[in-house]
Amino acid sequence: MTIFGFLIKSMFRRKLLVTLSMLSLTTAFLLFILLRSVAVLFSGDVIDVPDVRMQTNSKYAMIFPLPHRYGEEIAAVEGVLAVTFASWFGGTFREGDTSAMTFAVDPSTYFEVHENYQISTEHLEAFLGLRTAAVAPEAIMYRYDLEVGEKVPVTSSIYPNTNGEPWTFDLVGTYRSENESEAAFLPFLFHYEYLKEASGESDVGWYTFTIEDPDKATEIAQIVDSKFENTADKTKTMTESQAFRNMMEQFGDISLMMNGIIGAVFFTMLLLTANTMIHSYRQRIPDLAVLKTLGFSDGKVARYMIFESLLFCTSSAAVGIGIAVATLALIGPYLPSGFVLIVTWNTLFWGTCIAVGLGLFIGLVPAFSANRLVIVDALHAR
């Protein structure tokens, strides 16, 4: 019999108890991956944007618009390369569906500032040349089964159409991002001028601009905000990555809540698993004595106990993580736009560390006891 086979046979000495314990531990790691994915999303660390891109919002909240003239004043600041703007439209593509990320933008400057967004020359020219034109990222195209060339009806609770009918856009192209982390967060884009003409809107939601030197981001942010300090529409400028984190923080400290739940789950699993391993050890004391009688050293028997504990925890973790990854892949297309749950390498690393650490921790007591086991006393326990 191989060492691995011996460990498997020993571990499943009491099949029902071990199986139930493994199911519990598998569930714990399943919850760990799912909850950590939610925590990562709301921490804002899931998206990676260039450090040279900054964003100016209303000082009070993102929902308050800013005057259109602010763009020229931001562009005049030394170190600013290009400026664009966008307004949140809150579009819904399908009745009963949640709002998707839909922005009214200036097509002539939007892709100049967002240099990492890739759009073909043909699609960009079509976007620039038609007032009702729109472009969509690949994620939205797939989610709503859209095709270039079709007319897309979109409703909005923020900007309802004056005639009571859905807004209709001509989908003239698609675009993507060089950064894979941004792919699921890309919005459906259409002409701000179309929104302005149809609704009378004259303000914009926020400004995005690129700077020459990312080391001067704080200095430039202070200069921009000081320009509007004595106006009714004060601003708050920061890097775009920080703006994304701030937006997620408006939902509350979800990351802290998720980590707290994870801690409680694993504390319970620690007690349950440790109890299982100690109980299993007590049942096998005579067997361990037989191993020592056959010539197995104290250290070798102790190592068997630790390896068995590691196998128990890591196999349960592998199954739980695998189920979680598959679950996220299946439900991903049905989640609201911008609500993206991603299993990061950092999450997988910590999941592995927890599995190994838990295995070592709960295996130490049985291993230490096995190391000190006296053959005569152990055989007497039979």
> Are 305 and 359 in the same domain?
yes
> Are 111 and 219 in the same domain?
yes
C-alpha–C-alpha distance, residues 251 and 138, integer Å: 27
Structure tokens at 92: 């819904």
Confidence bin at 172 (pLDDT 50/70/90): very high
Q: Which domain holds residue 273?
A: 3-45+253-381
Is the pLDDT at 9 greater than 80, yes or no? no
C-alpha–C-alpha distance, residues 259 and 148, integer Å: 42
> Are 183 and 260 in the same domain?
no
Helix (H) or strand (E) holding 171: strand 167-177
Domain boundary among 178, 198, 232: 232
pLDDT of residue 50: 64
* DSSP label at residue 136: E
Domain count, the chain: 2
Q: 């990492």: which residue's tokens?
A: 116
Sign of the torsion angle spanned by Cα atoms 317, 322, 327, 328: positive
Domain boundary among 232, 261, 287: 232
Confidence bin at 252 (pLDDT 50/70/90): very low
> Are 37 and 75 in the same domain?
no
> Are 81 and 203 in the same domain?
yes
Q: Which stretch, 82-86, 194-198, 323-327, has highest mean pLDDT?
A: 82-86
Q: Which stretch, 14-28, 210-224, 233-247, 253-267, has highest mean pLDDT?
A: 210-224
Residue, of 279 and 110, whose pLDDT is higher: 110
Could you give phi then psi for residue 229, rounded to 5 degrees? Answer: -65, -35
C-alpha–C-alpha distance, residues 121 and 212, integer Å: 25
Structure tokens at 231: 């106006």
Question: Which of these ranges, 134-148, 170-184, 309-323, has the smallest mean pLDDT?
Answer: 170-184
Q: For residues 325-344, give the mean pLDDT.
A: 72
Structure tokens at 367: 């291993």
Is the pLDDT at 245 greater than 70, yes or no? no
Q: For residues 95-115, give the mean pLDDT.
A: 85
The Cβ-side half-sphere exposure at 353, using a 13 Å CA radius, reads 6
> Are 164 and 28 in the same domain?
no
Structure tokens at 272: 């349950």
> Are 11 and 157 in the same domain?
no
Instruction: Using alpha carbons, select from 222, 192, 176 the residue that is nearest to residue 54.
Output: 222
> Are 155 and 303 in the same domain?
no
Q: Does a structural domain hold residue 241?
A: no
